[in-house]
Structure 1
């Protein structure tokens, strides 16, 4: 390997060699010019680090001039003398991962994992990501998100910030979703650790709601259900009569009903499995009342503001009942719990109750039993649903025979009150 005094004209005039050749500069120790068969001329720095010979590529001539190459060698030599391996530094920069921001990871999570969830769950997961997390964490590089930042966000939700009410249960839901996003990133090699694991749940948010309605409350609610524009009253009634989930009920289609069987498709159920609901005589009465109202719509409970679309919200009716009735804590989901509680009072077998609710834990469906137990429980469901339908009618009729005149007057006043409120109401829920 020849050692020469490199200069610009000498390098420019080199003819292509038959074999690659290296020229060492006499002026700057360690500077080398490598000349390939194809004619490429590359400046390199040859040095020794920890008893090993190494080479650092500076760049190709004439893109990198001789003067610049010599200056670069001087800087690299200083690093070597300071105990720094410049080639190792270069490799580290080369293989260093691109900075990934939380918004990018969240987007990938929504695209690859969320679509497999049920519709209702999917909507809530997307809402948490888009509304609760991305606005607050979106621009942060993932590896810079620590537990203190997470705690600040969760505390604001749990204890209330500004005009916001405390929501510890929602804070726990946000925490769960954030933790899953980090685990999703770890599984794909995008994240090193999950800082959410260093935070704790809010105990007050772990308390499960166990509210169900007494017979008297059922009667009062039924009166309020009657005093709302169709199809909202029928949805409330069906929630109480059948015990099914709100979104599944609002999306009921006429084609899903065959005789007294309502079949809910897998894309609507929480467990992504077909669910057959037996409709009691009472339930069928409610549904038949919708026939004339829904017209040619595919949906039993058609939106009053969008043609051939299902009712999507009963929020305003819920808030009106909370405001004007004695049941200030009214929630539609409590009707499902009231249904389940009353079936238990009627001595309905726990497994049958679980099958009716399509609740895996309650029905005792482990992974093994779900595979081997293919019994449809249709007859058992039919008996239980009709038993509850008859009992619910009795509860509603007891209002006439068992209530005192004083209570009747009070209830009449409540109905007048909500009727007045309705007259002030404008617009429809959709």
Structure 2
């Protein structure tokens, strides 16, 4: 871009400035530092150039089609005068931009999460999905009212989310803002500190009426039958495809191992039912975590794990069904000793989710209001109803606090009576 001699710009100069192959600028002699920048697309903008502490800085003042020449000169004059006093006239604006939620989330917080949070991909995805509409808002200006508007929008959607999910998404946002305070020191405080959601009347009634959702024996049978039916359907569909391809001389699709599973869904579901592992822990499970000889899984649980923090792995015994599922899946993949147990068939890395396959299975089984996480509740409920002590259930569920396990206590109504009989004796 060649240097042009400054001249006293007029309205006609602005109007007649035509786009060229490369961007160029017209300097205004009336107000030093004011430029009209013309892009190859024809877009025109006013720019002011000023010096602060010997450093040249450029600032776009606005669109030349919307901002008059007189207004541009006024702004440029003010900026230059402030700069001559040694102060950047747009320092506050630059600070505000650096503390906008979207810029922080995409930049410093993403870098922090990648270094310190194991499940950072899922966390960042959830933050963007739920709070992306606040991207242009300075973090100090995100208010409880913004959260309440978001909550109302969620409540009016086709698939309203649970109160627990709302709490979790808010916690992620507050943690992000708190990191901006304590780690990056970008903001002094935020308006969500001390703010919590409360249940509305409908949610309070639902909480009183229902506990954790778990499978009844009949529902578990239906789920297992749906898994088997899905396996058969996929196998038959693959055989029909291969027959069609063979008849037309086309390359054949891979044959499904008759001794293995058709895909990841059945072994994941069986493992969830038999170990109570969360979906995230199943999708990041590695063969190095599986000890076939001792019939154990030894893994640091994602929910408690942070990078650069050494934590003892949880040790989870494997039932016969869990062992059979893992051995069968291991055999059909060449008996690997390392790597992910359930890698993505597309990327080879961890799968993001199994939502589509899971929702199809739930619909096939005819289950109402049943999430993948409820397999974990089913695991815990079966233990409690079998009389397993709550503290042992806590250890198997990898709960850090017994309070989390007490939500299942009502499933063992006799535990108080058993304690009295054990200490004071039975009926006379």
With normalisation by structure 1, the TM-score equals 0.54
The whole-number CA distance in structure 1 between the counterparts of 2:219 and 2:379 is 13
The equivalences for 1:50-61 within 5 A come to none
> Take 1:146 and 1:247, find their aligned partners in 2: how far apart are those partners?
31
Answer yes or no: is 1:216 the counterpart of 2:208.
Answer: no
CA contact (8 A) 2:214 2:374 kept: yes
Whole-Å separation in 1 of the counterparts to 2:220 and 2:396: 21
> Partners in 2 of 1:295 and 1:307 — Cα distance?
19
Matched ranges for 1:150-169 at <5 A: 150-157=147-154, 159-160=155-156, 165=160, 168-169=163-164
Query: Which of 177, 180, 191 lines up with 1:182 in the alignment?
Result: 177
Cα distance 1:130–1:339, how it changes in 2: closer, same or farther (>3 A)?
same
- State the SS of the aligned residue for 1:277: strand
- Which segment drifts farther, 292-301 or 274-283? 292-301
**Aligned-residue offset at 1:307:** 8.1
Q: Find the aligned partners of 2:375 and 2:365 in 1 and give their Cα distance.
A: 16
Indicate the SS of the match to 1:195: coil
Deviation sequence 1:256-278 (CA, Å, 0-9, x none): 33313434443x53222312221
Which residue is 2:294 aligned to? 260
* Aligned residue runs from structure 1 range 246-395, under 5 A: 246-258=279-291, 259-266=293-300, 269-272=302-305, 273=311, 274-297=313-336, 298=338, 301-303=341-343, 305-306=345-346, 313-362=353-402
After superposition, the C-alpha distances for 1:326-379 in whole angstroms (9 at most, x for unaligned) are: 3122222212111111111222222222222211113999xxxxxxxxxxxxxx
Quote the RMSD (CA, aligned, Å). Answer: 3.8
Aligned to 2:189: 193
1:116-159 CA distances to partner (integer Å, 9 max, x unpaired)? 2332xx2332112222223x1222233444444443334322x2
When residues 142 and 341 of structure 1 are mapped into structure 2, their CA distance, relative to the original with a 3 A threshold, is closer
Once the two structures are superposed, residues 368-398 of structure 1 have per-residue CA deviations (whole angstroms, 9 ceiling, x without a partner) of: xxxxxxxxxxxxxxxxxxxxxxxxxxxxxxx
Question: What do the CA deviations read for 1:140-192 (whole angstroms, capped 9, x no partner)?
Answer: 233444444443334322x235x564565443333222223333333354324
Q: Is the 8 A contact 2:122 2:352 kept in 1?
A: no
How big is the shift at 1:203?
0.9
Change (3 A) 1:190 1:330: same
Instruction: Give ranges in structure 1 of 5+ residues lacking alignment.
Output: 1-58, 61-85, 366-430
CA distance in 2, matches of 1:194, 1:324: 46
> Hey, what's the Cα distance between the residues in 2 that align with 1:263 and 1:280?
11
TM superposition shift of 1:306: 4.2
CA distance in structure 2 between the partners assigned to 1:264 and 1:93 by the alignment: 58
Q: Larger Cα Rg: Structure 1 or Structure 2? A: 1
Greater helix share, structure number:
1
Query: Structure 2 unaligned runs (5+)?
Result: 1-51, 54-81, 232-260, 306-310, 406-428
List structure 1 segments (4+ residues) > 6 angstroms apart after TM superposition. Answer: 89-95
Count the aligned residue pairs.
Answer: 276
Distance in 2 separating the partners of 1:364 and 1:145:
31
1:254 and 1:213 map into 2 onto residues whose CA distance is 29
Q: Which residue of 1 aligns with 2:266?
A: 233
Indicate which of 123, 137, 140 corresponds to 1:140: 137
Q: Distance in 2 between matches of 1:93 and 1:307?
A: 49
Seen in structure 2, the aligned counterparts of structure 1 residues 286 and 113 have a Cα distance that, compared at 3 Å, is: closer
Tell whether the 8 Å contact from 1:160 to 1:167 is kept in structure 2 after alignment.
Answer: no
Rate the CA distance shift 1:142–1:340 in 2: closer, same or farther, 3 A.
Answer: closer
- Give the superposition deviation at 1:248: 2.3
Equivalent pair of 1:299/1:310 in contact (CA under 8 Å): no
Secondary structure of the 1:203 match is coil
**Cα displacement string for residues 284-310 of structure 1 (whole angstroms, at most 9, x for unaligned residues):** 222222243222554585458348656
Cα 1:316/1:209, change in 2 over 3 Å:
farther
| Structure 1: distance between partners of 2:344 and 2:118 | 25
TM-score w.r.t. length of structure 2: 0.54
Q: In the TM superposition, what is the alpha-carbon distance from 1:224 to its structure 2 partner?
A: 1.5
